[in-house]
Amino acid sequence: MLKMPNLEVHQPDAVKHDTKVSAQDVNVYYGEKHALQNVSVNIPDRSVMAFIGPSGCGKSTFLRCINRMNDTIPIAKVTGKIIIDNQDIYDPSLDVVQLRARVGMVFQKPNPFPKSIYENVAYGPRIHGLSHSKADLDEIVGASLEKAGLWKEVKDRLNDPGTGLSGGQQQRLCIARAIAVNPEVILMDEPCSALDPIATAKIEELIDELRQNYCIIIVTHSMQQAARVSQRTAFFHLGTLVEEGNTTDIFTNPKDQRTQDYITGRFG
């Protein structure tokens, strides 16, 4: 007889999904500095995982390991394994360009290309050869903008520069750009930190919709945001993963004293 796992009981609204991303003993060094120590975590598919913690705790560093963005920093060294769908992404045979097509990323500051709205979204599909005709590309662009909740606002001015949109619209454009290449995982590095509350609410709504189809990992400074959008939460402190679990558990019943102190505002 198998014992029923407790998880289901604590989080009745969450459907249990398979693990999408699995990190095993990940260590990151920036030169001499040991920025991330022995992080192991399983991230389920079709749900939102939030990374919280004080500044400099390594949560963004870990996020950037998942699409190997740390490769661009010459002094960074990563050890350990990160497995996406049974494939180690640090395996030398894996091509980083292909990985980044599967693992999209949205950055802290909205960073649309200084090109038209259409070109921003079309760039990814174009370089990966995902469309065979102009009609194909139009459809991908339209669908991506639709999914990012931006279509209604921009459909009449697709040729206007992407940099002319408001901050929140720019960030949604960046999300559209990321989902245009049809990724499996979307990484978001504090996507709302440069936005006002209304734009933030829209992005959070969007994240909630997107989780039906994608594995979303979000780094956030705001504990309220983590509580609102995520199903699971991981708390980082001083380069270590302190505690990880269902969001409701982390916020109502943390096991570790440091987590308790952080979420009650005693430090951070």
Contact region for another protein (CB under 8 A) — 6-14, 33-41, 102-110, 208-216? 102-110
- Candidate list 35, 84, 105, 185; residue touching another protein; CB under 8 A: 105
Size of the site for another protein (CB under 8 A): 26
Instruction: Give the CA count within 13 Å in the CB-facing half-sphere of 139.
Output: 7
Q: Is 111 a residue that touches another protein (CB under 8 A)?
A: yes
Decide whether 192 or 223 has the Cβ nearer to another protein.
192
Q: Beta 76-84 vs 240-246: how paired, if at all?
A: unpaired
Within residues 162-201, the interface with another protein by CB under 8 A covers 163, 174, 177-178, 180-181
CB 179 within 8 A of CB 124: no
Within residues 67-86, the interface with another protein by CB under 8 A covers 67, 69, 72, 74
126: region left, alpha or beta (phi > 0 left; psi from -120 to 50 alpha): alpha
Nearest distance from C-beta of residue 94 to another protein, angstroms: 13
Give me the residues that bind another protein (CB under 8 A), please. 67, 69, 72, 74, 97-98, 100-101, 104-105, 107, 109, 111-114, 123-124, 127-128, 163, 174, 177-178, 180-181
